[in-house]
Amino acid sequence: MPYTPILGTLGYVLSPDGKHVLMIHRVGRDDDHAFGKYNGLGGKLEPSEDVATCMRREIREEAGIEVQAMRLRGTISWPGFGKHGEDWFGFVFLITAFSGEPFECTAEGRLEWVPLQRLLDACSPDPSARARAALPMWPGDVHFVPLVFSDDPRQFHAVMPYCEGKPVGWQVSWV
């Protein structure tokens, strides 16, 4: 059977000083699969879009800002990730320049400038650092979020299977 995932984008917007990341705290809808979690911005690719156009559109729709510069940091295949076990394939971007002022909130939740170090601490292998960060995220984010902000210029390409809302594996390669 062919692999036919939902295609999406996920973007992390850096503040102009590079010390904060624009995140959405998903508290807008009780039925949200990601309710209560902090996440980057993004969404599903439309049939007429390339991934860069999708990322720009999603940032405009979700944050009210215009992307001026971004880099594709990598891709992730998420088999079984969706609310009903759907497969997802994501293109992960770092947005390094934008124009406009971000919204304060959307129907999905509140937009917040989270200190980059807090985000990285939330992804730390050290449980005490994660506890201090107190930033609820998808459990699999600890694997790839640090790669988004890494100084390594290469792109990462990963597979992270999910089962019942939890990651059950992680494989990554760099090019």
- Cα distance from N-terminal residue to C-terminal residue, the chain: 28
Tokens 């930033």 identify what position? 135
Q: Is residue 1 very low, low, confident or very high in pLDDT (cuts 50, 70, 90)?
A: confident
Is pLDDT at 4 greater than 90 in this prediction? yes
**pLDDT of the residue at 2:** 86
Global pTM?
0.94
Give per-residue pLDDT as tens, 111-162. 999 999 999 999 988 888 888 888 999 889 999 999 999 999 999 999 999 9
Q: Considering the domain boundaries, does residue 1 fall inside one?
A: no
Residue 137 within any structural domain of the chain: yes
Residue 100 lies in a domain: yes
> Where in the sequence is the domain holding 151, given as residue range(s)?
6-174
Q: What is the pLDDT of residues 57-110, one digit of tens each?
A: 999 999 999 999 999 999 999 999 888 889 999 999 999 999 999 999 998 899
Beta carbons within 8 Å of 28's beta carbon, 6+ residues apart = 105, 106, 107, 108, 109, 110
pLDDT on residue 27: 87
Rounded Cα gap, residues 119 and 137, in angstroms: 10
Q: In DSSP terms, which residues pair with 55 in a beta bridge?
A: none
CATH number of the domain enclosing 148 = 3.90.79.10
Q: Exposure string (b/e) for 139-172, b if CB count within 10 Å is 16 or more?
A: ebbbbbbebbbeeeeeebebebbbeeeebeeeee
Residue 92: C-alpha distances to residues 10, 13, 16, 162 (Å): 5, 11, 19, 18
- Does residue 49 form part of some domain? yes
Q: How many domains does the chain have?
A: 1
Q: In terms of Cα–Cα distance, which of 13, 88, 98, 82 is closest to 45? A: 88
The bridge status of strand 171-174 relative to strand 156-159 is antiparallel
| Structure confidence at residue 9 (pLDDT) | 98
